[in-house]
Chain A
Amino acid sequence: MDALTGKFRELYEEWAKATGNLLTWDRLSDLLTALVLLSVMLFVARRARRSIGRLTQLESNQRLLVQRLASFTFTTLGFALALDQLGFDIKVLLGAAGVLTVAVGFAAQTSASNLISGFFLIFERPFVVGQTVDVGGLRGEVIAIDLLSTKIRTFNNLIVRIPNETLVKSQITNFSHYPIRRIELNIGVAYGSNLDVVESTIARVLDQHPRVLKNPPPRILMQGFGASSLDFIVYAWAATELAIDLPSELYREIEAAFRTEKIEIPFPTRTLVVQHVGASADANANLNRPQVLSQLVDE
């Protein structure tokens, strides 16, 4: 092998001398080695990207980020090794890169902050694409989580771009994180209603509705004595995607069931007592008994 290399070296040096080529055998050897190193590292970077792309356990955003990181790492390493082989002092380059990083860091502070926040969002996953969230009062569906910003489509079909830094600092409510949600129904019945009948009627409606979860079981609680009604609160569990429509369905069915059971749903009433100033004691005594003059619907 050495003999063969030696023969090549001799041939090359003769050719270089004849043609006036200044590139020595050693330099050529370093150049070729550097090229091979760079090619190998670029190949490894490409393979790594593909392998990571096949990891189905990762979310698409996470996968993209890991792919970019792997690709960047191997490519940088390849260039560093190649430069080292060519005789460049890597320490000097790293030092220069450090200074450059600080300079760029100052210049692009906001972008860097958003970028780092993007990393947090992608790996800590307070939400994923497709989920419904509330960020500082803005409610909508997450349609993209990018490195610098997150895009949310509101329910009236507007796209809102929120910088990732803002998201990290904000309180986020994720409505889609768990597959089930508890819904609440507020129901009032007239004073004098049979409370057992009221409870059993509500329970029957909940039990018969196929989309109300059997487990966790619904709860029916009396909340108190309202201004015009005996107030109940009903807690029922349902699949998250039904949380908007199901209360409406249940209210309608409970109303129908109440009508069948002759349970009255009262509306707010106001009783006016009119008292005549200066009237005789007998007249006032009569008027002290509440006398309903009219019922006004309280807006």
Chain B
Amino acid sequence: MEVSHELSSWWGRQVFVAGRADLWQIGSLNVQVERSGRAWHFAHDYVSWSESLRQGRLSTTPHGQWPKARRISGVTSLLQSAEAPPHRSVLTSRPTLRSRPISASAEGFDLIFQPSLLERTYVASLLSPISLAPEEKLSLAVKVPLSLRIDGTTGTGALRPLFEVPLEDVQDTWHGPAPREGELAWACPSDRESLERFPSQLSERMGEMNSGLGHVIVAVEIRNSGPLRILEHFPIPCPQLSLFHATKTGFWTDRLSLEWTAFGQWHKRPERQPPKECGSHQLVAHPRSQASEPAIKALRGLMNHNMFRER
């Protein structure tokens, strides 16, 4: 029998009962967790806005805010697919079940839900392109989806990351001047809704911005050190940023300085502290990776010289 209850926050320790399938609804994300004798099993999918409105999960406020996270205990197991096909579960589509094996001596059924930044660069698109004069600076606050990381035990006692998934159904994209040069990145499928422009009034609007569920605000300063350009999108190097949480203002990252060079390249420099608008805060996670020093980059480039690379 399904029992549903609202969660005061979607992260933190979740007590799990063996032999039962539970589902967490966090914003548009559904995550189902089950534990068999030898493995943890995870499945997830995303609910579309139209489907959420139909289900009553999404309120019809001007900003379409998601309600609080919800946990539904005792949902239909995905492991017993013969008796209960996936369409009978709360998950909307046919989800892929991901399993993490556990040792026979594994103890503990607690799961730790952790907020984390995306593991790839996020490409933010502007609602309407902005022209940037040479040496002009622009301050923006960007709403970027967070990831949900679930830690649990697979052996004796030690907690390990078991599953990680973005809280929003982000889409693959490429960030770079050409398909042979750049990096695989994330983009928001709903495209330009994630970004708002707050020149010099960030603090007035931040409460409104951070009202969404499962987002982090990145304060970005963009400087154009090249000729006059039209800015349509820009990168947020999420793996190089720290994640902070402030009780009053939500999740924040380090301030980010982006310089758009004369050669059309982005120089990304995290400033290793959140903006002052963040208020009293605490560090949630260090950066996943550090930006390479120029000398290391040059050496790596030299070593990666390839006879098949086009010049």
Contact = CB atoms under 8 A, between A and B. Distances in A.
Nearest to A172: B308
Contacts of A219: none
B47 to A, nearest CB: 14
A216 B179 contact: yes
Nearest to B183: A179
A62 B170 CA distance: 37
Given A126-B307, A216-B179, A210 B172 contact: yes
Given A214-B171, A215-B123, A239-B184, A178 B306 contact: no
A211 B172 contact: yes
Contacts of B173: 213-215
B189 interface: yes
A182 B180 CA distance: 12
A182 B304 CA distance: 23
Interface in A159-183: 174, 177-180, 182
A130 to B, nearest CB: 15
B296 interface: yes
Interface in B280-311: 296, 299-300, 303-308
Contacts of A237: 174, 179
Interface string A98-137: 0000000000000000000000000011100000000000
Contacts of A178: 179-180
A179 B187 CA distance: 16
Contacts of B189: 208, 210
Contacts of B171: 210-214
A21 interface: no
Interface residues of B, number: 24
Interface centre among A124, A126, A208, A214 (most CB of B within 10 A): A214
A208 B50 CA distance: 14
A125 B183 contact: no
B290 to A, nearest CB: 13
A179 B189 CA distance: 20
Interface in A199-247: 208, 210-216, 237-239
A12 to B, nearest CB: 53
Contacts of B179: 178, 180, 182, 216, 237
B303 A179 contact: no
A57 B300 contact: yes
B146 to A, nearest CB: 17
A145 to B, nearest CB: 14
B306 A212 contact: no
B169 interface: yes
A58 interface: yes
Contacts of B300: 57
A210 B170 contact: yes
Nearest to B189: A210
A107 to B, nearest CB: 31
B184 A179 contact: yes
Interface string A16-47: 00000000000000000000000000000000
B303 A126 contact: no
A255 B3 CA distance: 39
B299 to A, nearest CB: 5
Interface in B164-188: 169-175, 179-180, 183-184, 187
Contacts of A182: 179
A174 B180 CA distance: 13
Contact of A62 (B183, B184, B299, B303): B303
A124 B304 CA distance: 8
Contacts of A211: 171-172
Contact of A174 (B303, B304, B308): B308
A210 B174 contact: no
Interface in B240-271: none
A204 B304 CA distance: 39
A213 B172 contact: yes
Interface centre among A212, A215, A239 (most CB of B within 10 A): A215
A180 B306 contact: no
A212 B172 CA distance: 6
A215 B174 contact: yes
A213 B306 contact: no
A213 B303 contact: no
B242 to A, nearest CB: 23
Contacts of B123: 215
A158 B183 CA distance: 33
A180 B173 CA distance: 9
A237 B178 CA distance: 12
A239 B308 CA distance: 20
Contacts of A177: 306, 308
Contacts of B308: 126, 174, 177
Interface centre among B170, B174, B189 (most CB of A within 10 A): B174
A57 B172 contact: no
The 5 residue pairs across chains A and B that have the minimum distance between CB atoms = A214-B173, A210-B171, A124-B307, A215-B173, A179-B184
8 contacts: A126-B308, A180-B174, A182-B179, A211-B171, A211-B172, A213-B171, A213-B174, A216-B179
Given A124-B305, A179-B183, A215-B173, 10 more contacts: A59-B303, A124-B306, A125-B304, A126-B307, A178-B179, A178-B180, A182-B179, A208-B189, A213-B174, A239-B184
Interface of A: 57-59, 62, 124-126, 174, 177-180, 182, 208, 210-216, 237-239
